[in-house]
Structure 1
Amino acid sequence: MVAGRNVLRALRDIRSFRVVVLHPADAESDELVAQIRRIGCRVELIWPPRDGIPDSTDIAFLLFRQDALTDAILRSLEDRPLAVTLIAIVEAESPTVIEAVVRSGASAVITKPIRAFGLLTSMVLAHKFSTGKLISAEKMSRLQTRLSGARVLEQAKAIVMSQRGVTEPEAYALIRERAMANRSSIEAICASIVSTGDVPGR
């Protein structure tokens, strides 16, 4: 039941997405744009993509070719927001193209000739996969921040223990006292101690 509700929500949400198609203007790109529009998304065909992907883009379809333009687009995509879901359009399964698709971090692949069948499923699954990567990256960032803070705290306590000749609990209590007195965070006080090698406010 929960899974069914999640699928219905994903299908409903995807209709509010902004989609960009990076593909030369031809009959196939016209058909792809028309199919995406029928799904209910706002869609724009951009070629050549001189300024990269617009910031408000949710899903981007990109044609992968063995040419300099594709390489240039991929370089511009390296700094794109992780929230953008990239779907690769492939017309030839050469090792070079496959390597480029893997390197790009594309969340799904559709092949040419482009067909309407399966397009909505590909978009939903790709966005879900991309969102999962974003959540994982955010969790990893928070974990790294906590680990970094813990290391700085240990360094600060060691400095206080060495300077004051106190125990570890006493060093932590002193750091906490300084933070309260300075109306600052423990993290900020620890960073100051590690940076200056001294306990502030004494």
Structure 2
Amino acid sequence: MTLKTPNFTGWRAVVLSEADGNTDRLRRQLGLLGVSVAVQWTPLSAADLPDLVLIDADRGWDELLPFSDAAPACPVVALLGSEAPGRIAWALRHGAGAIIPKPVSAATVYPALVLAVSLHEERLEARRRIAHLEERLKLRPLVFAAVKRLAAERHIDEERAYAILRDCAMRRRLPIEQLAAFFLGGSESLREVG
């Protein structure tokens, strides 16, 4: 995965915190980056998610975010003034990809945003890859059945049958699971081999 530094111009951010000096500094710094900012201390709606969430992890509670279990729907940055392990664990459990220490310093905002966005993109990519692999794993019984049938039809061992199926799939640039389904469905006879 190629990571590039994001341009935040036009992004929408919600700061889940009570208004104070930290939120003022955040609003100012985010504005300089081209981010429109809303500050609220009420739960975030799942229907209207922003591009980025910054949350006061010192005082936050579970219902503030419409997601948890480190599977955030958008990048999350925690605002943290304490070193309490429970508060750090809470931030991580809610998907924080970066921490901005309190009191907020202008120099900490941009790097935290970049880290949170990069980590969020990596998480999304990992979830996509896992879903793809799980789907292929579900289809493995098709491959096994196709190998068994091909071995029986051609009077060859299963290792050779699998090699034939694999080679045909590679030649046709199809996933082996798809070729196995075609073969078992009768729409493919694998004529080009043996």
Stretches of structure 2 that go unaligned for 5 or more consecutive residues are: 166-174, 187-194
**Alpha-carbon distance between aligned partners in 2 of 1:70 and 1:53, rounded to the nearest angstrom:** 19
Match of 1:107 among 74, 94, 97: 97
User: 1:118 deviation in Å?
Assistant: 2.2
User: 1:190 deviation in Å?
Assistant: 6.9
Tell whether 2:55 aligns with 1:65: no
Give the superposed CA RMSD. 3.7
Q: Which residue matches 1:119?
A: 109
Bigger share in helix? 1
SS in 2 for 1:60: strand
CA deviation string 1:152-187 (max 9, x = no partner):
32146547878x8976688998xxxxxxxxxxx996
Match of 2:14 among 20, 23, 29: 20
The 1:73–1:166 alpha-carbon spacing in structure 2 relative to 1, beyond 3 Å, is farther
Q: Is the 8 A contact 1:83 1:134 kept in 2?
A: no
Equivalent position amino acid for 1:72 in 2? E
| TM-score normalised by length of structure 2 | 0.68
Q: Is the 8 A contact 1:82 1:134 kept in 2?
A: no
CA deviation string 1:88-114 (max 9, x = no partner):
111222121122122223110011111
Stretches of structure 1 that go unaligned for 5 or more consecutive residues are: 174-184, 192-198
User: 1:45 deviation in Å?
Assistant: 1.7
SS in 2 for 1:14: coil
Q: Which residue matches 1:42?
A: 36
Percent identity, please.
Answer: 25
Q: Which residue matches 1:176?
A: none
SS in 2 for 1:40: coil
Q: How does 1:40-189 map to 2 (within 5 A)?
A: 40-52=34-46, 54-55=48-49, 57-65=50-58, 70-74=61-65, 76-78=66-68, 82=72, 84-155=74-145, 157-158=147-148
**Alpha-carbon distance between aligned partners in 1 of 2:116 and 2:33, rounded to the nearest angstrom:** 15
User: 1:49 deviation in Å?
Assistant: 2.0
CA deviation string 1:8-52 (max 9, x = no partner):
x625x2223222211112332122112101111122222212525
| TM-score normalised by length of structure 1 | 0.66
**Alpha-carbon distance between aligned partners in 2 of 1:147 and 1:153, rounded to the nearest angstrom:** 10
**Alpha-carbon distance between aligned partners in 1 of 2:161 and 2:121, rounded to the nearest angstrom:** 44
Instruction: Give the number of equivalent residue pairs.
Output: 175
Q: Which runs of 4+ in 1 moved over 6 A?
A: 159-162, 169-173, 188-191
Match of 1:10 among 5, 9, 16: 5
User: 1:150 deviation in Å?
Assistant: 2.5
